């Protein structure tokens, strides 16, 4: 009798079996769909980023100015294209045009390293750029460059898809907000908190990082031009990109560049580059970062660093923006989840062992 009662307790209710089967089917189909639409990830993130930035102007035009939603949407999309996307495409095209030959022919890079190595060895007896070290450096830098270029080409190709998604998000703003409030499985207070923090993070990463990078890159470009750097435009772009790296920042660009100017060109140009970097670029970085972060969310440097690494692997050049944003949003969602479920479970008597 006890054996039969034990077997009856082990029986699974048919509704549970149907639910598990249905969830498994959803997961399998979801994975297939995600796998086929993975190439749209950059476009989707870009659309969400622009949507958050353009949300208030969209509401202003539609509610206050009484514009039709589709007219307001197309107008804001055109403005964002001219102000943000086209300059970014131009800078990306310049960087790709300059970097591609170096990636395709590493001998050029090795030759430069060789000349600098000879200078350091002769003047200072420093054997840091010998053949073995140069090979290690090239082995690390070239794959990173290839990932950046590959992800960049795909991201540029997704611009049309990005604006297509953005158009429907802007036109259906009310439906989007209503759907989020109804379907995000959190308390109303936490839903508002999520939306506010994501908006703040988007502004910080999609506006704050590019603004600081642009200012530093422009200042670096001017200095490199003054001191006779041959590829001053490329070096300015790389200085802007490097500005997002915590602690070292643009130092990783202008210091090796100064050494190169010392070794290959002339001593006074090398001195000029290093002084411009330490005094002007460093000061501009501190002032710009302080002014921008004063009004935007303050993202931890470690999150920025790890986010850039993740973003470059996923999206190439644009990963400098999307990587830190993804990681920051993930951390926000973890905090909200703990606040939503962790505390209540901890206070529940059954959770105490």
The residue-averaged pLDDT of 75-95 equals: 83
Task: Please report whether residue 170 resides in a domain.
Answer: yes
Q: Please say whether the beta carbons of 40 and 161 come within 8 A.
A: yes
How far CA 295 is from CA of 193, 218, 286, 298, in Å, comes to 18, 22, 15, 9
Give the pair of three-digit tokens for residue 202. 């988007």
Q: Rounded to an integer, what distance in angstroms lies between the CA atom of residue 176 and that of residue 48?
A: 11
Higher-confidence position of 98 and 255:
255
Task: Please report whether residue 311 resides in a domain.
Answer: yes
Task: Please report whether residue 27 resides in a domain.
Answer: no
pLDDT, residue 351, reads 39
Higher-confidence position of 228 and 154:
228
pLDDT, residue 71, reads 92
pLDDT, residue 346, reads 46
Percent of the residues in the chain that have a pLDDT greater than 90, as a whole number: 7
Q: Is the pLDDT of residue 17 over 90?
A: no
Q: Rounded to an integer, what distance in angstroms lies between the CA atom of residue 65 and that of residue 128?
A: 64
Highest mean pLDDT among 144-153, 162-171, 173-182: 162-171
Range of the domain at 86: 37-345
The residue-averaged pLDDT of 334-353 equals: 58
The residue-averaged pLDDT of 327-344 equals: 76
Q: Please say whether the beta carbons of 110 and 134 come within 8 A.
A: yes
Task: Please report whether residue 250 resides in a domain.
Answer: yes
Q: Rounded to an integer, what distance in angstroms lies between the CA atom of residue 67 and that of residue 343?
A: 46
Return the SS3 of 34.
helix
Tell me how many domains the chain contains: 1
Task: Please report whether residue 200 resides in a domain.
Answer: yes
Phi, psi of 249 (to 5 degrees): 55, -135
How far CA 228 is from CA of 73, 216, 257, 264, 266, in Å, comes to 45, 18, 11, 12, 10
Task: Please report whether residue 22 resides in a domain.
Answer: no
The residue-averaged pLDDT of 178-187 equals: 72
Phi, psi of 202 (to 5 degrees): -65, -45
Q: Is the pLDDT of residue 293 over 70?
A: no
pTM for this entry: 0.69
Query: What is the DSSP track for 128-163?
Result: SS-HHHHHHHHHHHHHHHHHHHHHHHHHHHTHHHHH
Q: Which conformational region is residue 228 in: left (phi greater than 0), alpha (psi within -120 to 50 degrees), or beta?
A: left
The residue-averaged pLDDT of 112-140 equals: 67
Task: Please report whether residue 28 resides in a domain.
Answer: no
The residue-averaged pLDDT of 267-283 equals: 87
Q: How confident is the model at residue 335 (pLDDT cuts 50, 70, 90)?
A: confident
Task: Please report whether residue 31 resides in a domain.
Answer: no
pLDDT digits (tens, 9 = 90+) for 41-64: 778 888 888 888 888 899 899 989
Average pLDDT value over all residues in the chain: 77
Higher-confidence position of 80 and 329:
80
């Amino acid at each position: 009798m006890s054996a039969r009662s034990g077997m009856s307790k082990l029986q699974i209710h048919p509704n549970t079996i149907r639910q598990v089967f249905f969830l498994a089917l959803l997961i399998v189909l979801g994975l297939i769909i995600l796998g086929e639409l993975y190439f749209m990830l950059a476009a989707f993130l870009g659309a969400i980023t622009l949507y958050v930035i353009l949300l208030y102007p969209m509401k202003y035009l539609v509610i206050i100015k009484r514009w039709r939603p589709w007219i307001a949407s197309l107008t804001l999309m055109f403005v964002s294209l001219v102000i943000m996307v086209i300059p970014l495409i131009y800078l990306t095209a310049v960087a790709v045009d300059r970097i591609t030959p170096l990636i395709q022919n590493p001998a050029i890079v090795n030759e430069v390293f060789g000349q600098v190595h000879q200078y350091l060895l002769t003047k200072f007896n420093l054997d840091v750029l010998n053949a073995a070290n140069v090979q290690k450096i090239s082995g690390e830098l070239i794959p990173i460059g290839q990932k950046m270029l590959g992800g960049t080409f795909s991201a540029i190709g997704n611009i049309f898809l990005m604006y297509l998604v953005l158009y429907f998000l802007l036109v259906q703003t009310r439906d989007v907000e209503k759907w989020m409030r109804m379907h995000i499985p959190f308390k109303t207070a936490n839903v508002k908190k999520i939306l506010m923090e994501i908006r703040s993070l988007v502004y910080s990463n999609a506006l704050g990082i590019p603004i600081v990078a642009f200012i530093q890159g422009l200042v670096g470009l001017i200095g490199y031009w003054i001191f006779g750097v041959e590829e001053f435009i490329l070096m300015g772009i790389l200085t802007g990109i490097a500005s997002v790296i915590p602690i070292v920042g643009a130092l990783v660009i202008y210091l090796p560049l100064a050494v190169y100017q010392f070794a290959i060109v002339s001593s006074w140009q090398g001195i000029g580059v290093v002084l411009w970097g330490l005094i002007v670029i460093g000061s501009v970085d501190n002032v710009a970062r302080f002014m921008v972060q004063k009004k935007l969310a303050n993202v931890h440097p470690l999150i920025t660093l790890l986010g850039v690494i993740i973003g470059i692997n996923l999206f190439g050049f644009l990963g400098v923006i999307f990587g830190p944003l993804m990681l920051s949003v993930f951390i926000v969602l973890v905090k909200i989840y703990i606040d939503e479920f962790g505390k209540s479970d901890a206070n529940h008597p059954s959770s105490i062992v």
